[in-house]
Amino acid sequence: MQGQITTANLGYPRIGEDREWKKALEAYWSGKLGQEDFKVEMERIQLAHLEVQKAKNLDSIPVNDFTYYDHMLDMAVMLGVIPARFKQAGEEWSLNIYYAMARGNASATACEMTKWFNTNYHYIVPEIGEEAPRLIENKPLSAYRFAKAKAGIEGRPVIVGLYTFLKLSKGFPAQQLGEKVKQFLPLYVQLLKELETEGVAWVQIDEPALVTDTGVEEFALVESIYAQINKEVPKLHIMLQTYFEAAEHYERLVKLPVSGIGLDFVHDNGGNAASLAAHGWPADKWLGAGVIDGRNIWRSDLDAKLVLIQALLKTVPQERIILQPSCSLLHVPVSLQREVKLNETIKGSLAYANEKLDELVLLRALLNGQNESGISAGLDSSRQALSQFRSLPERNRKDIADAMAAIDAVREKRNLPFSDRVKLQRGKWKLPLLPTTTIGSFPQTPEVRQARLKWRRNEWDQAQYEAFVNREIESCIRIQEEIGLDVLVHGEFERTDMVEFFGEKLDGFLFTQNGWVQSYGSRCVKPPVIYGDVAFAAPMTVKESAYAQSLTSLPVKGMLTGPITILNWSFVRDDLSREAVANQIALALKSEVLALEDAGIEMIQVDEPALREGLPLKQRDQEAYLQWAVKAFRLSAASVQDTTQIHTHMCYCEFHDMIDSILALDADVISIETSRSHGELIASFELQGYDHGIGLGVYDIHSPRVPSVDEMSEMIDRALRVLDPELFWINPDCGLKTRGWAETAPSLKNMIQAAQIAREKLQNVKA
**Cα gap 145→154, rounded to integer Å:** 9
The answer to whether 656 is a known catalytic residue is: no
Work out the burial of residue 721: count CB atoms within 10 Å of its CB; fewer than 13 is exposed, 13-18 middle, 19 or more buried.
exposed
Beta bridge partners of 693: 669
What string of DSSP letters covers 422-446? HHHHHHHH-PPSS-B---SB----H
- Cross-strand partners of 262: 241, 288
Q: Does 19 carry a binding-site annotation?
A: yes
DSSP 551-620: T-SS-B-EEEE-HHHHHHTSEE-SSS-HHHHHHHHHHHHHHHHHHHHHTT--EEEEE-TTTGGGS-SSHH
20 is in an annotated binding site: yes
275 vs 268: CA distance, rounded Å: 11
Q: Name the residue among 631, 622, 503 with its Cα closest to residue 567.
A: 503
Q: Which residue of the set 49, 267, 692, 702 is catalytic?
A: 702
CB 487 within 8 A of CB 437: yes
Q: Which residues contact 650 (CB under 8 A, 6 or more apart)?
A: 608, 609, 611, 612, 662, 670, 671, 672, 673
Kind of pairing between the strands at 260-264 and 517-520: unpaired
Residue 601 labelled as part of a binding site:
no
Is 673 one of the annotated binding-site residues?
yes
For residue 327, say whether it is annotated as part of any ligand binding site: no
Task: Tell me the C-alpha distance between 477 and 525, whole Å.
Answer: 27
492 belongs to an annotated ligand binding site: yes
User: How many Cβ atoms are within 10 Å of 216's Cβ, its own excluded?
Assistant: 9
Q: Which amino acid belongs to residue 651?
A: C
Element (DSSP H or E) covering residue 322: strand 321-325
3-state SS, one letter per residue, for 660-701:
HHHHHCCCCEEEECCCCCHHHHHHHHHHHCCCCEEEECCCCC
Annotated binding residue 111: no
What residues pair up with 170 in beta bridges, in sequence order? Answer: 127
* Residue 297: DSSP 8-state: -
298 is an annotated ligand-binding site residue: no
Q: Residue 612 in contact with residue 569, Cβ under 8 Å?
A: no
Calculate the dihedral angle through the C-alpha atoms of 165, 170, 172, 173, rounding to the nearest 10 degrees. 100
Nearest to 716 by CA among 726, 730, 706, 705: 730
- Positive or negative torsion for Cα 608, 610, 612, 614: negative
Q: How far is CA 409 from the centre of its chain?
A: 34
3-state SS of 333-349 is CCCCCCCCCCCHHHHCC
Positions of E strands within 3-144 = 6-7, 62-63, 113-115, 122-124
- The answer to whether 413 is a known ligand-binding residue is no
Using CA of residue 421, residue 631, residue 669, residue 643, what is the dihedral sign? positive
Give the residue from 634, 15, 736, 97 showing the smallest Cα distance to 353. 15
Alpha carbon of residue 512 to chain centroid: 19
640 within 8 A of 646, measured Cβ to Cβ: yes
| Interior angle at CA 214, CA 195 and CA 292, nearest 5 | 65
Known binding residues for 5-methyltetrahydropteroyltri-L-glutamate are 19-22, 115, 523-524, 569, 613
Known binding residues for L-homocysteine are 439-441, 492, 607
Known binding residues for Zn(2+) are 649, 651, 673, 734
Catalytic residues: 702
Known binding residues are 19-22, 115, 439-441, 492, 523-524, 569, 607, 613, 649, 651, 673, 734
